């Protein structure tokens, strides 16, 4: 999990989040059928040609069928011919050395507050610095994955829309990331910023763009506000989220709050009993609104004509179905997984709500985060027997021992999304000799498309197990099809 707030800014703990393919029909080639008919009329030689064509067509059909079966999300994953590799917070100064060791992707962070320090004004010097970095990366043969900085809002945005900040049930406000979920005005400002960024730099200069909602740029609500009173923060209490009917300030794609005024922990609403069915309905609305913010973003990039990859960042493992059942039974009061519940980190539910636009992909930001028993375990072919949103008690007990990326890989495969990965970072789980090999085994066994290592400076600063040579060795082995 990486904070998109700047080139050297701190990352927030990925470890805190621990806790449909089109099926093809193979048809026999028509040309083969015609030859068979002709052969039937031409005697022995024709019959021999008929047999050869029949065998050839059968073999081709079998090969195609095998290829289709292995492309299904529920099929066991196998090694890819080529992966992509890169680093997070990439330095232009090390780009040449990175590329020479097999890396092909650099990470660039744009900061909205620096790009647009005042309404309607673009800092041209900052734009020029971004363009220089782009040129330096591309001159070394690196593609650029960009965080566009939606989680670094300028101060004037809060000043202009003070009532549209994320607000929890006790009135606490979160201002480190803009309320893309419930405020249409905020979405309008973001849309304007993206148009400015496209005009100033050109979004098509980015090989991929990172997509998220919270302060770390990932697919979750903000963290809980500091409090020792009652349930943790549920961020659905600003004026638009609480509107029970039509509200022009709420995005039209988000339905009205089914129970305005209800707060987690309460067992009545408007003088009537409020049971688990109502709690579940409210919480599903809360999750759906979060996913809508992601779908709105991918739709904006599509409308701007962007043709690169759109990467939805998935932090940790999130909570499991049993955690949700316990939370609903307790009317969303604090439970063991309460912090994950309030942040909407139920990826077995929310990933299914992401729209399959052109080239929308998922990224697990929690490789080698120390999760699972044994630690950082890899995927297995038998994982396909698990249906994430319909676990038996015995299955859930086993799944809770899976590493974060293993659980997310199963969800991604089930929902038909390509998946790549990022290491969680040494601030989440300390690096150690052999950690890159372990990340490589997770990548290969879980069918990931590539790996972004956190962080570029850790390749050069003596961090154990995270040297440039270590990474080059893992890259070379994986690209040859070997397991590190």
Name the burial class of residue 116, with classes exposed (0-12), middle (13-18) and buried (19+) by CB atoms within 10 angstroms of its CB: buried
Per-residue model confidence as pLDDT tens digits over 306-324: 999 999 999 999 999 999 9
CA distance 359 to 361: 6
Select from 279, 298, 251 the least CA-distant residue to 150.
298
Select from 340, 332, 324 the least CA-distant residue to 266.
332
Residue 57 scores a pLDDT above 50: no
Region of 21 (left: φ > 0; alpha: ψ -120 to 50; beta: rest) is: beta
Which of 50-64, 190-204, 264-278, 328-342 shows the lowest mean pLDDT across its residues? 50-64
pTM for this structure? Answer: 0.85
Select from 284, 320, 317 the least CA-distant residue to 393.
320
Side-chain half-sphere CA neighbours of 188 within 13 A: 12
Name the burial class of residue 172, with classes exposed (0-12), middle (13-18) and buried (19+) by CB atoms within 10 angstroms of its CB: middle
Q: Which of helix, strand or coil describes residue 367? A: strand
CA distance 45 to 349: 61
Residues above pLDDT 90, as percent of the chain: 81
Q: Give Cβ neighbours of residue 112 (< 8 Å, ≥ 6 apart).
A: 148, 149, 150, 152, 153, 154, 193
CA distance 464 to 218: 27
Per-residue model confidence as pLDDT tens digits over 128-163: 999 999 999 999 999 999 999 999 999 999 999 999
Furthest-apart CA atoms within the chain: distance in Å: 90
CA distance 113 to 196: 13
CATH class of 80-479: alpha beta
Residue 79 scores a pLDDT above 90: no
Residue 64 scores a pLDDT above 60: no
Q: Tell how far CA 100 is from the center of its chain.
A: 28
> Which residues in 456-476 are b (16+ Cβ under 10 Å) and which e?
bbbbeeebebbbbebbbbbbe
DSSP code of residue 419: E
Q: Which of helix, strand or coil describes residue 60? A: helix
Greater pLDDT, 78 or 298: 298
Place 358 in a pLDDT band, splitting at 50, 70 and 90.
confident
Q: Supply the pLDDT for residue 226.
A: 82
Average pLDDT of the chain is 87
């Amino acid at each position: 999990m990486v904070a998109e707030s700047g080139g050297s800014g701190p990352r927030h703990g990925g470890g805190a989040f621990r806790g449909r393919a089109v099926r093809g029909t193979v048809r026999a080639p028509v040309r083969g059928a015609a030859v068979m008919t002709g052969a039937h009329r031409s005697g022995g030689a024709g019959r021999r040609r008929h047999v050869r064509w029949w065998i050839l067509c059968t073999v081709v059909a079998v090969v195609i069928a095998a290829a289709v079966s292995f492309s299904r999300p529920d099929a066991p994953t196998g090694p890819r011919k080529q992966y992509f590799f890169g680093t997070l917070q990439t330095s232009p100064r090390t780009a040449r050395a990175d590329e020479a060791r097999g890396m092909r992707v650099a990470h660039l962070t744009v900061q909205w507050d620096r790009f647009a320090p005042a309404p309607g004004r673009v800092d041209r010097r900052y734009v020029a610095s971004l363009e220089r970095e782009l040129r330096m990366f591309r001159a070394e043969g690196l593609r650029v994955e960009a965080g566009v900085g939606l989680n670094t809002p300028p101060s004037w945005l809060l000043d202009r829309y003070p009532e549209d900040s994320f607000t929890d049930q006790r009135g606490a406000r979160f201002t480190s990331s803009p309320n893309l979920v419930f405020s249409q005005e905020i979405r309008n400002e973001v849309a304007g910023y993206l148009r400015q960024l496209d005009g100033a730099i050109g979004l098509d200069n980015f090989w991929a763009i990172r997509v998220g909602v919270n302060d770390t740029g990932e697919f979750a609500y903000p963290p809980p506000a500091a409090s020792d009173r009652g349930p943790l923060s549920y961020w659905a209490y600003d004026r638009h989220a609480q509107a029970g009917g039509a509200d022009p300030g709420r995005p039209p794609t988000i339905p009205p709050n089914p129970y305005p005024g209800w707060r987690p922990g309460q067992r009545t609403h408007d003088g009537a009993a409020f049971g688990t069915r109502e709690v579940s309905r409210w919480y599903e609305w809360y999750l759906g609104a979060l996913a809508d913010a992601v779908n709105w973003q991918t739709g904006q990039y599509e409308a701007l004509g962007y043709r690169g990859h759109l990467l939805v960042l998935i932090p940790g493992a999130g909570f499991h179905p049993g955690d949700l059942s316990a939370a609903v039974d307790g009317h969303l009061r604090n439970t063991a997984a309460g912090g994950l519940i309030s942040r909407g980190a139920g990826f077995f539910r929310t990933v299914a709500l992401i729209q399959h636009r052109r080239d929308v992909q998922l990224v697990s930001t929690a490789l080698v985060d120390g999760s699972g028993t044994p630690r950082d375990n890899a995927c297995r072919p038998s994982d396909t027997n698990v249906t994430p949103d319909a676990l038996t008690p015995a299955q859930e007990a086993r799944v809770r021992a899976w590493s974060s990326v293993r659980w997310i890989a199963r969800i991604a495969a089930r929902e038909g999304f390509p998946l790549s990965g990022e290491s969680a970072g040494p601030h989440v789980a300390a690096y150690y000799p052999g950690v890159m090999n372990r990340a490589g085994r997770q990548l290969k066994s879980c069918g990931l498309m590539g790996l972004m290592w956190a962080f570029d400076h850790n390749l050069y600063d003596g961090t154990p197990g995270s040297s440039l040579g270590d990474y080059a060795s893992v890259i070379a082995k994986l690209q040859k099809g070997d397991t590190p």
